[in-house]
Amino acid sequence: MFSKKSKNPEDCIDRGTLLSYVEGSLSPEQSDAVQSHVESCDLCGRFHGEVEGEIKSLSMSISLVWTEEGISCPHRDILKAYLAKSLSGGEADYVEFHLTEIACQFCNANLEDIRALDSEEESRYLDSVRERLNQSTSAFLRKN
């Protein structure tokens, strides 16, 4: 429990915990404890502001690195499935986010590539769809 000795540096939040707090990876209890300390301690309050600023610029540079390095990029098969609209909602959202919000040039290029490669396959697929449509249309017409 936090006593009123919170001005005592020994009670202060260490940097690692403060980082986890800002990142939101602490348990609710820990997070509450850190929050009440940060609010009552000038030193940690200031530190908290600094860490928060750091994290913000860090996560910005992380998304830049991701874009540049292709880390977090969906696998080519996922992109294919995305194009074929056969992904689950969450996966599709992730890919969508990656392509539009992060605007990953690598994946967008990849997607164009897959699209071009698939167009032949796709026209075959469309043919089979057309064929099935024709069949069901004639079945429908026969019924009526």
Interacting residue ranges for Zn ion, rule: CB under 5 A: 12, 41, 43-44, 73, 104, 106-107
Alpha-carbon distances, residue 144 vs 28, 133, 138 (angstroms)? 65, 16, 10
Q: Which is nearer to Zn ion, 44 or 87 (CB)?
A: 44
Q: For residue 11, what are the contacts with CB-CB under 8 A and spacing of at least 6?
A: 2, 3, 5, 37, 41
Q: Minimum distance from CB of 10 to Zn ion (Å)?
A: 9
Minimum separation from the CB atom of position 130 to Zn ion (A): 34
In the block, tokens 């936090």 appear at 2
Closer residue to Zn ion in complex, CB, 51/107 = 107
> Considering the complex, what minimum distance in angstroms separates the CB of residue 129 from Zn ion?
30
Beta carbon of residue 110, minimum distance to Zn ion (angstroms, whole number): 8
Distance CA 47, CA 118 (A): 53
Which CB atom, from 35 or from 55, has the smaller least distance to Zn ion?
A: 35
- Residue whose CB is less far from Zn ion, 94 or 106: 106
Q: CA separation (Å) from 22 to 38, 47, 49, 59?
A: 11, 11, 9, 12
